[in-house]
Structure 1
């Protein structure tokens, strides 16, 4: 499904003809790829070939499975248009039953084309950038070659001029002695030739100087673009924290750096060969060289952005001009931790030591196979940290630090060593795991809403809700590894929750949400913030509910009013899955049930948490509960969730009685569960308005607890 997730995003930008060529409507429509995405990517299509007739039976089995699954999905689809379309597609695909291998080879080729497209898409931006940079650099290199060519021609002309001057001096003697007319004529011709040579040498010198100036201008422009690309790479790396796409390949930028360093060296050489100083160009080349050398240090692998003291972590720094480092003395990089104020004054070496780092040095080493030069800090640790004075209600988890990496480096062809340094992305330092959620909130806000080229580490205190929602959606889908985005209903409920406006029905897009609303102020009537609640849902989905969410079986974020609105006219037993809004990391089942007087009411089962789903999966719990029969709007639960049911285990050996867990709800739970031998504390997850849930077991409660501890 990972491949389909990426390819489906690309398809929005492709013309219809390209899509139809990729997914032939008459043979393998795009709907097949969409609805069977996960299953298709699990099969071994690459093994099939038309000439391997022995694979026919295996190919036939895959074709039959494809048709069967399409029919099953069609029957479960509540949209009549989709249902009829899928049934028609399944009927059309029976045409391959006479040649199943043709079908499997077709799917193989489609997946191969997708991979090519993905590779092309991933590389297209790189290629465009490379073409732009390569065109510029190629143009620059041609200019440098022209300068070198003029220098060589000037040298030849100068040698000829020196020779002719020598001849002129030699012929001067006979004229003075004999006064021969033919000698005078030769001397006149020689004099004219010398004047022409002198004019050509002077003209070439002027052109040479002009070309040198143009080369320096062009080098300046190329290097400015390179520095912008390096900044863009760091910016993309920063945004990757919230799930934005990031191409981490530094090789093209390294090649660009090396090319510009080579051009700079050749131009400095050409200036020296002129034989007279040209201060303006010399200073510009020296400054460009310094900027290039200092800008080529990159934090290739960032440290964790939330770091707990006394805990080990690693980070890698790469030098893009590593192959140009002068041999001899090893280059040792030193890391130190700096605060926000120090990060704003990197021109001076930080004086006050705000933290103590363990294992904070690493040697810059060259890898010949990858052609990269890196220093890897493998077992770094923050032993202690010095906090700044906090303002008002600011907490320690809002204070941002960074790692500063520095060294002194000698580059081949350069006379003086250079002091280079680079800082990491901002990090938050914590001392206890309980601070992790709030620290991560600081990082998320910083990554999502900071501006390029900001003053470290300034970020706006309020942003439009549309930006907030985009960040939440990006972070959710990237963490859960799903293509199923939060929908408009989820978005609206999240806005109602963070703004505490449950009755607001208009568009929230341009309403400003503050940092305090995100993760300082607790939600009304709750002991947690919006981010703590959202992250709990994200973690639960990531670890226990990914497939359910990806297949659209979980409604997700929905308010009570909306819940009653869509369920009020549904038959008894209709249910949907929603994330609990009363506790962190819970999912509950809301269902329609009958009242004593024959009416209907909406019931919410006590939320299942991570611990609950570790004991018994959501699919098995849904199977256990007889009160629920149809997933909203009208999907039979045993058809929709069958794939998630656990098969009964075989009877254990040794004569033991088999044990099973089962979920019971409400009065069913209280009547069937045997009384405990000792009073048990009330569940910390119980909530008013939620029917209770119990685990029913054919043993006494002591053995149940014992088995859980084991």
Structure 2
């Protein structure tokens, strides 16, 4: 754990102090999502806004959008550097164009960027990146992308060379045609003189060269088509598959999804090249109509080349139809792919090929459970809302064709004759469903049937099923990349701890702003898997993750962890983000950490016996030097609803020598003064005479006001009415009432 000074550092300053390999990741996602200059200029203002809340409130997002533009205007007015003023003006205009009709999207983008910064900061604190993140950020991936970029550029240059070759052919043929017709127009007597015979020789030589150039041009076109085919079938397909895998990982809290604009650029450049080749082949057909001869290569080779180009265009456009944003309820942006019946959800599709020829309305139809195998689910649903919409050009710099479904709901279908549906061997939250999307594109005599599908979703009917649904989404997207494997949970594979630990850390970084460090993950591993020499290769089954209860507890591992996430989100967020909650530490480790510390040193950990509880333990020493550890009853959401946890730590009291209430909490482990750690999170001043006692703690040992000798809580003796009245007068009514009604114990 770092010092309080480090932990209080602004997020943007922490980003700027990262190593270069992490800064490159930051640069990568800001390029695709939001101008980094705005993040730099408005760092403090941006971090002070509630972007997560604005994602779900159009009015709030609109206000923030206008405020952001106003902040940029202020920066513009104050800026003295001419170039910076120019950049600020340009950026403001771009943001106005991009988000004026959809400020909710801007709020979502900024929220995602801030979340990704926090995830990268957390990743930088890890000793080693997890296997999934490493696979997406390694040098091999970047090198492959650079290679693809170079090959696409080469294809474009080759198309330009073919175009020059066709123009050369056209000019040569025009000259040949003119001279040939001129010779033909002469009188028969003139055709036999020496000059005419020389002209025939020249024409024969031109025809030979024309034939050579036609064959050369066709050969270059054939090679170019072969290269495009190779680029499409290997690298472009691989990049698209890789982007879809990264989308899966982003859906479960992993690195922010980037690269779709770059993919669109590659798809569009290849498509443009293919359409140019098609036009050049048509041009060659026109040349044949003017001049042809026996053995003319154009009518012999053109049909095959044309068919190959047509086939490549078909497959390119077909594969360019993708789900840009997976189904998600706006109220649960960090838990995509879980849809509750009767609640609006959104999803967005994009066509990656951007050409003037297809800038017209393209109707997209949404179908639910089209490919669901028979007998796989016990419930059936139908879509309520507009399930057919037209794709339109986006009002943004990429100008792609896209369509967003914003107002859809799922309704459960009432089955006839009292049927309960098919009997399936999985629970409701293990049933996987999906959306299919269909459209038909007719272009230059080519008909392309577009079809794609969403990642599998889980449909819930009660919000209490959300943790189970999200557990299924995590497990599925962690362990498979097959979007149509809807029977996955009939026999779910196990996950290694190295895989699972990485995803668990992402749950914390994406949902509550700070991931788990190596020590916290090691504590979790030991809790779940016991003492091991190494945890990375240990296998963790789906049943142990979600379905089976933790030994001796009435809940599963995931429900325990999810309840902690909810507790942090609603009641502990600032303290968690600052890194002051150790959280995952066993009682044995807790005592080992505290035993040599000064009296009053304490740490915060999550309850192992309660769902969604946090407790604190401090160390004390008796007069004979014996080390004592004191813990309080866990604070759950019901207890934290009335008062911030930081205030509880500030105002907590126990009865010590002389019956005087005293706060035993002095130093946050390893030795940070309590007020230095939590002072900025106190939301009120302490009442006079500390008129709040969060709970009266009866530790394993106390000190009496008579002899100051230690005694067991079991040795407490009744007080006389007079003695009790003296004690009572030292407490406020609130403290006394709390003392009488709050059960406390050492956990």
With structure 1 as the length reference, what TM-score do the two structures score? 0.70
User: Compared with structure 1, are the counterparts of its residues 38 and 635 closer, same or farther at alpha carbon in structure 2 (3 Å cutoff)?
Assistant: farther
Q: Distance between the aligned counterparts of 1:358 and 1:297, measured in 2?
A: 24
Distance 1:507 1:379 in 2: 49
Contact 2:651 2:692 in 1 (8 A): no
Q: How does 1:191-590 map to 2 (within 5 A)?
A: 191-224=200-233, 225-248=235-258, 250-275=260-285, 276=299, 278-304=302-328, 305-321=337-353, 324=356, 326=358, 330-338=361-369, 341=372, 354-359=380-385, 360-370=387-397, 371-384=399-412, 389=422, 392=425, 394-411=426-443, 414-451=444-481, 458=488, 461-482=493-514, 485-488=516-519, 490-499=520-529, 501=530, 504-590=531-617
Where structure 2 has 5 or more consecutive residues not aligned to the other structure, the ranges are 1-9, 25-42, 50-70, 82-119, 121-136, 286-298, 329-336, 653-662, 703-730, 742-747
* Preserved CA contact (<8 Å) 2:250 2:257: no
- Where in structure 2 are the equivalents of 1:648-663 lying within 5 Å? 648=685, 661-663=692-694
Aligned to 2:153: 138
- Per the TM alignment, residue 130 of structure 1 is displaced from its structure 2 partner at its CA by 7.7
Q: 1:442 Cα shift?
A: 0.6
8 Å Cα contact 1:309/1:382 also seen in 2: yes
Deviation at residue 589 of structure 1 after TM alignment? 0.7
Shift of 1:162: 3.4
Unaligned stretches of 5+ residues in structure 1: 16-36, 53-113, 115-121, 177-182, 344-351, 652-657, 672-694, 706-710
Q: Which structure is richer in relative contact order (CA contacts within 8 A, separation 6 or more)?
A: 2
Residue equivalent to 1:664: 695
How far apart in 2 are the matches of 1:584 and 1:249? 39
Matched residue SS, 1:158: helix
Contact residue 322 and residue 366 of structure 1 kept, 8 A: no
Q: How far did residue 322 of structure 1 move?
A: 5.7
Distance in 1 separating the partners of 2:564 and 2:482: 31
Aligned to 1:641, which of 659, 678, 693? 678
**CA contact under 8 A between 2:433 and 2:486: conserved in structure 1?**
no
TM-aligned CA deviation for residue 42 of structure 1: 7.2
Residues 624 and 663, structure 1, Cα contact 8 Å, conserved in 2: yes
User: Which secondary structure state, in structure 2, belongs to the residue aligned with residue 303 of structure 1?
Assistant: strand
Quick one: structure 1 residues 513 and 650, their matched pair in 2 at CA, closer, same or farther if it must change by over 3 Å? Answer: closer
Quote how far apart the aligned CAs of 1:456 are: 5.9
Q: 1:38/1:538 Cα in 2 relative to 1: closer, same or farther (>3 Å)? A: farther
Measured against aligned partners, the alpha-carbon deviations of 1:159-193 in whole angstroms (never above 9, x if no partner) come to 333344445556683279xxxxxx54324322321
The 1:242/1:215 distance shift into structure 2, 3 A limit, reads same
- Superposed CA RMSD: 4.3
Which residue of structure 2 lines up, in the alignment, with residue 592 of structure 1? 619
Whole-Å separation in 1 of the counterparts to 2:194 and 2:265: 60
CA contact (8 A) 2:383 2:408 kept: yes
- The aligned residue for residue 157 of structure 1 is 172
Number of aligned residues: 563
Deviation readout 1:499-536 (Å, 9 max, x if unpaired): 3x2xx152212111111111111111111111111121
Q: Write out per-residue CA displacement over residues 543-562 of structure 1, whole angstroms, 9 at most, x where no aligned residue.
A: 33233233332221011221
Q: What is the distance in 2 between the residues matched to 1:397 and 1:408?
A: 34
Q: Contact 1:573/1:628 (CA < 8 Å) preserved in 2? A: yes
* Cα distance in 1 between the residues matched to 2:46 and 2:176: 78
Q: In the TM superposition, what is the alpha-carbon distance from 1:591 to its structure 2 partner?
A: 2.0
Distance 1:223 1:291 in 2: 9
Kindly provide the CA deviation profile for residues 582-607 of structure 1, in whole angstroms up to 9, marking residues without a partner as x: 11211111122457987333232111
Is contact 1:323-1:366 (8 Å) kept? no
- Does the aligned pair in 1 maintain the 2:439–2:451 contact within 8 Å? yes
Residue 48 of structure 1: how far off its partner (Å)? 13
Which sits farther off after the overlay, 184-193 or 231-240? 184-193
* TM-score, length of structure 2 as denominator length: 0.66
Q: Distance in 2 between matches of 1:50 and 1:258?
A: 38
